[in-house]
């Protein structure tokens, strides 16, 4: 989802040639393959969006894959890029790097200030390692490896797997099916009370290019002295219940909903403090209502061959 949004954004820019590989062509968890790729291609900038990612259930169910795959991808790409002489790299993390009970909204300085949310701790630890990789290579080798921490993302090409995806694609699919089958109610996981912030993926791609293109001094003056990371979000959140109501409206479903409290809520709230990225001249432009409309339209157009990764 993120990779294809970045390609859409970058391919539209003048004087940019996008070099991309599918995961079938290049397995980023394999060090030799990654080294060969960087040695054989002339790459100037790297957007490291590739990751093993998923919703609350997948994180809980496959902790080994979430920590191993992400550590391998980050370690292999950052090191091979450095060895091949790449000067600029942008690593994409996640807002789940912050402690479960972090002060809201969460500023960049909340990193490593407390205990992580248990449902995604392995993934979060891998993403924190990615930030530290970029900081360390920049400090020791003088390269310009930056990091951004996006809030929860959604949009076209999302993973619509009913169990393993994130809340928006899962609920769009479920409310759509309920409408088609004229079901009296839809099940929503958890209590409906957790608060989440959602960023449309094309907004994220725009922010990534913005951060990559900030001047060296502008970026270093903005982040802390360890050359750390920048939050990317919209600055407002809503409850899962409010989200479900909005999704029902987007889909045109008029039945009821039931909350399944046997399913985990996860972090109570994770709203990003986006004052730093605002001060650097970027803010999101696609509202949740508009983003949901676009995602649902895409879902309807691609219903037959939609991605539903296990």
Name which position in 29, 70, 76, 120 contacts ligand GFB (CB under 6 A): 120
Nearer to ligand GFB, 80 or 240 (CB): 240
CA gap 114, 117 in Å, rounded: 10
Contact criterion met (CB below 8 Å) for 152 and 269? no
Active site residue 123: yes
* Binding flags for ligand GFB, 5-34, as an x/- string (CB under 6 A): ------------------------------
Residue corresponding to tokens 């039931």: 258
Among the listed residues 94, 159, 284, 295, the single contact to ligand GFB using CB under 6 A: 94
Site for ligand GFB in 162-181 (CB under 6 A): 166-167, 170-171
Give the contact letters, 275-304, x = binds to ligand GFB (CB under 6 A), - = no. Answer: ------------------------------
Question: Which span (15-23, 115-123, 245-253, 279-287) binds ligand GFB, by CB under 6 A?
Answer: 115-123
- CA–CA distance, 194 with 151 (Å, rounded to integer): 14
Distance, CA of 73 to CA of 21 (rounded, Å): 14
Query: Within 13 Å of residue 216, how many CA atoms lie on the same side as its CB?
Result: 7
98 contributes a contact to ligand GFB by CB under 6 A: no
Task: Map residue 221 onto helix, strand or coil.
Answer: helix
Tell how far CA 1 is from the center of its chain: 9
DSSP characters for 47-87?
EE-------HHHHHH-HHHHHHHHHHHHHHHHHHHHHTT--
Judge if the upstream peptide bond of residue 95 is cis by omega within 30 degrees of 0. no
Would residue 134 be called left, alpha or beta, if left means φ above 0 and alpha means ψ between -120 and 50 degrees? alpha
Shortest distance in whole angstroms from residue 266 CB to ligand GFB:
3
Name the residue nearer to ligand GFB (CB basis): 187 or 213: 187
Nearby residues of 100 by Cβ (< 8 Å), 6 or more positions away: 114, 115, 116, 117, 118, 267, 268
Residue whose CB is nearest to ligand GFB in the complex, by number: 55
User: Could you identify the residue written with the tokens 């479920």?
Assistant: 174
Coil/strand/helix, residue 25:
coil
Work out how close the CB of 236 gets to ligand GFB at its nearest, in angstroms, rounded to a whole number.
16
Q: Which of 47, 98, 123, 137 is catalytic?
A: 123
Number of shown-chain residues binding ligand GFB (CB under 6 A): 24
Which member of 56, 86, 89, 92 binds ligand GFB (CB under 6 A)?
56
Is 70 a residue that touches ligand GFB (CB under 6 A)? no
| Interface positions with ligand GFB (CB under 6 A) | 55-57, 59, 94, 96, 119-120, 123, 152, 166-167, 170-171, 188-190, 194, 196, 240, 263-266
Query: Which sequence positions are flagged as catalytic?
Result: 123
């Amino acid at each position: 989802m993120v990779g294809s949004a970045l390609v859409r954004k970058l391919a539209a820019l003048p004087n940019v040639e996008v070099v991309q590989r599918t995961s079938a062509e290049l397995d980023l968890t394999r060090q030799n393959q990654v080294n060969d790729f960087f040695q054989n291609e002339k790459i100037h900038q790297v957007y490291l969006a590739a990751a093993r990612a998923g919703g609350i259930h997948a994180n809980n169910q496959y902790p080994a894959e979430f920590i191993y795959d992400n550590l391998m991808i980050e370690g292999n790409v950052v090191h091979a890029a450095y060895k091949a002489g790449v000067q600029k790299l942008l690593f994409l993390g996640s807002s789940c790097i912050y402690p479960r009970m972090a002060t809201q909204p969460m500023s960049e300085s909340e990193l490593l200030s407390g205990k992580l949310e248990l449902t995604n701790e392995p993934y979060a630890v891998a993403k924190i390692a990615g930030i530290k990789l970029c900081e360390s290579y920049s400090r020791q080798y003088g390269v310009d490896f930056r990091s951004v921490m996006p809030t929860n993302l959604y949009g076209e090409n999302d993973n619509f797997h009913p169990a393993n995806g994130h809340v928006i694609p899962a609920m769009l699919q479920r409310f759509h099916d309920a409408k088609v089958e004229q079901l009296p109610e839809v099940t929503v996981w958890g209590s409906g009370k957790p608060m989440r912030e959602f960023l449309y993926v094309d907004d994220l791609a725009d922010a990534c290019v913005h951060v990559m293109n900030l001047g060296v001094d502008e970026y270093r003056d903005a982040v802390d002295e360890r050359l750390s990371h920048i939050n990317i979000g919209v600055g407002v959140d809503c409850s899962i219940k409010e989200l479900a109501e909005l999704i029902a409206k987007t889909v045109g479903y008029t039945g009821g909903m039931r909350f399944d409290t046997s399913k985990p809520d996860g972090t109570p709230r994770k709203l990003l403090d986006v004052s730093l990225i605002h001060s650097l001249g970027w803010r999101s432009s696609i509202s949740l209502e508009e983003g949901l409309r676009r995602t649902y339209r895409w879902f309807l157009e691609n219903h037959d061959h939609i991605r539903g990764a296990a």
